[in-house]
Chain A
Amino acid sequence: MERKNQNPIIQWIVKTKILGILFFVVIGAFVIYALGQALTNNPSLFLQQVVNGLQLGFVYALIALGYTMIYGIVRLINFAHGDVFMVGAFTSFFTISRFNLHLWFQNLFPSFPAMPAQIIGAITVVLASMAICALLAFTIEKIAYKPLREAPRISALITAIGISFFLEYFGALNFVFTPNYITYKRPFEVKSWFIGPSGFGTIESGVTSPSNSIIFSNIFVIIVLASLSLLLVLQYIVKRTKIGKAMRAVAYDKPTARLMGINSDAVISITFALGAALAGAAGVLYAIAYPQVYFTMGIIPGMKAFVAAVVGGIGSIPGAFIGALIMGQAETLSAAYISTPMRDAIAFSLLVIVLLIRPKGIMGEIASEKV
């Protein structure tokens, strides 16, 4: 045993963790000051970064939801989740480029107005990727994770890493996704608008938009709407439906849930499928926004979404969403104002900072339940 320091001031400092709090207050104040400066110096540049960050954050949110749901129910960090996202992106690449799935409605009803027909086509593409990813995760869970349900947690974790490598390098085979970077064909034309002091308008190709305005595209609108509506659907499922309530019961106490007649294995499978479907949708949206697909494209977004889920409080659905929006902002703002190569380092150090202040993450109370 070490001798306890009796000095009341030192004791007080230790007890209240005042130094740490002070440190973060100073950093926080500085960040807020710097952002305020950035906003006043060049509002349009700043707001443009916020828009870009939102676009990224809403995609991360969809991936992070899967991490958090799966962790919540089986206490597993599913490292293969980012690769499921990749499979979602590739699925849409094939459905669009090979099968013209995005055009099925237009082809079937040529006289139908073009815009809604395009929307229906794009939604079909997203749904197809979601279904394939759900099926994939369902299979992975049955084959790889279920046999390890009663094994020590580290076994399942290592298996998840193995599955992740398998999906990547199986994907890299020439008759699967190939090891190449592939240009992605969007299921619709990109349209951009500007908004600013000089008003609102469409950006025509070859014409520069007025200075001091913020540019956003239909991709941004689609990502935000899709992500929000999927979040609402998920929230509805988890809060209101019988299966959602069963998910929460199993997450909280599996043996007791089984005593109620809940088939916990089925509930866990459904949770994996649901999380993977969201990752699949994220894969499509990500490929639409940054139109290139390749077999390792899931690693970095997967990592970022994982950090987002932890920052938000792993196990918490609103937490994952908030964490993802923060990650998106951290990434674009640090790219714009600090340095582009540093942006990932800064985004990840956010993890360290948040966990130092709140080890359970921003919304992490729920995660404190016993396992």
Chain B
Amino acid sequence: MMLEVEKINVYYGAIHALSDLSFGVNEGEIVALIGANGAGKSTSLKTISGLLHPRDGSIRFLEEEISQTSAEEVVRKGIIHVPEGRKIFAPLTVLENLEMGAFLQTDKGQIECDMRNVFERFPRLKERQNQPGGTLSGGEQQMLAIARGLMSHPKLMLLDEPSMGLAPVLVEQIFEIIREINKQGTSILLVEQNAKMALSIADRAYVLETGNIVLQGNAREVMENPSVIQAYLGG
């Protein structure tokens, strides 16, 4: 496995947010992580990306233990976390936001080339490149957040609710983009409220409930599971 999370326990002070949680992502996969509000989806991603550290358990990325590695170092190893709520640097321009995404890249020519590719994929961002990020619409900000993540050449991308607050057309578009990114070789761990969409593009899925995996399997199986239909697919 590319990413292997094994029996991690994560706390916020006294709150036990993740208990003995295990899951994984294989090279080239899209894996969906679904669950209700407060289940611990964002906490899982923050723990992988190094913003939080588990009290015990292990996280291995490409055979290397990263559970106590700092967030900056995790990026260097090839994991990028596109956080919930986009978290665009509002006072920085679109271009500067992208430059921050490429913070650890040192090859100037490569950065320029990446920038061109990103603008090709997201023409709207090119039009707005000198505008402060905070002035973009919600959909544009989500595009920018993903684009910024791509600037670091990730091997694995963690996406936290990319469809949040977007109109259905835009949701379709975002999921199409995620699929394309995956086709070009980036593995994806996708956290979503929109379980239907997430399961439709995922290879495998995990269902998280109060810090525990309650169900896992390939996406189709999960989609057809009666309790999932009941709880997440509005059946």
Contacts and interface: CB of A to CB of B under 8 A. Distances in A.
Interface of A: 242, 245-246, 248-249, 252-253, 255-264, 366, 369
B103 A262 contact: yes
Nearest to B151: A260
Contact of A256 (B83, B99, B104): B83
A98 to B, nearest CB: 42
B8 interface: no
B41 interface: no
B101 interface: yes
A365 to B, nearest CB: 10
B49 interface: yes
B100 A260 contact: yes
Interface in B91-112: 91-92, 96, 99-101, 103-104
B90 interface: yes
Given A245-B96, A245-B99, A255-B51, A261 B89 contact: no
Contact of A366 (B50, B91, B99, B100): B91
Nearest to A255: B51
B80 interface: yes
Interface string B63-92: 000000011100110001101000101111
Given A245-B99, A262-B100, 20 more contacts: A249-B100, A252-B89, A252-B90, A256-B83, A256-B87, A257-B89, A257-B100, A258-B72, A259-B51, A259-B71, A259-B83, A259-B87, A260-B75, A260-B103, A261-B75, A261-B104, A261-B152, A262-B103, A263-B72, A366-B91
A242 B99 contact: yes
A246 B97 CA distance: 10
B16 to A, nearest CB: 20
Given A245-B96, A252-B92, A261 B103 contact: yes
B148 interface: yes
Nearest to B158: A259
4 smallest beta-carbon distances between A and B, as pairs: A261-B75, A258-B71, A261-B104, A256-B87
Given A245-B100, A261-B104, A262-B103, A256 B72 contact: no
Contacts of A255: 51, 71, 83, 87
A271 to B, nearest CB: 16
Contact of A259 (B75, B90, B91, B99): B75
Nearest to B46: A255
Classify chain B: how many residues form its interface, as a range: 20 to 34
Contacts of A369: 90-91
Contacts of B80: 259
A261 B49 CA distance: 10
A239 B64 CA distance: 37
17 contacts: A246-B103, A248-B89, A248-B91, A249-B89, A249-B92, A255-B51, A256-B83, A257-B89, A258-B72, A260-B75, A260-B103, A261-B71, A261-B76, A261-B103, A261-B152, A366-B91, A369-B90
Given A242-B99, A246-B103, A249-B100, A261 B92 contact: no
B100 A246 contact: yes
Contacts of B96: 245, 248
B91 to A, nearest CB: 6
Nearest to A258: B71
A259 B49 contact: yes
Given A259-B51, A259-B80, A263-B72, A252 B100 contact: no
Considering residues A246, A256, A258, A264, which has the most beta carbons from chain B within 10 angstroms of its beta carbon? A256
Considering residues B51, B80, B89, B90, which has the most beta carbons from chain A within 10 angstroms of its beta carbon? B89
A260 B87 CA distance: 11
B51 A260 contact: no
A255 B148 CA distance: 15
Nearest to A244: B96
Nearest to A259: B81
B5 to A, nearest CB: 18
A242 B89 contact: no
A263 B73 CA distance: 9
A256 B89 CA distance: 8
A253 B89 contact: yes
A323 B148 CA distance: 36
Contacts of A256: 83, 87, 89
A256 B152 CA distance: 14
Contact of A260 (B70, B90, B148): B148
Contact of B101 (A258, A260, A366): A260
Nearest to A366: B91
B87 A253 contact: yes
Contacts of A257: 89, 100
A354 B106 CA distance: 45
B92 A245 contact: yes
A253 B84 CA distance: 13
Contacts of B90: 252, 369
A245 B103 CA distance: 10
Nearest to B49: A259
A205 B87 CA distance: 64
A261 B91 CA distance: 19
Contacts of A260: 75, 100-101, 103, 148, 152
A246 B96 CA distance: 9
B150 to A, nearest CB: 12
Contacts of B152: 260-261
Contacts of A264: 72
A121 to B, nearest CB: 38
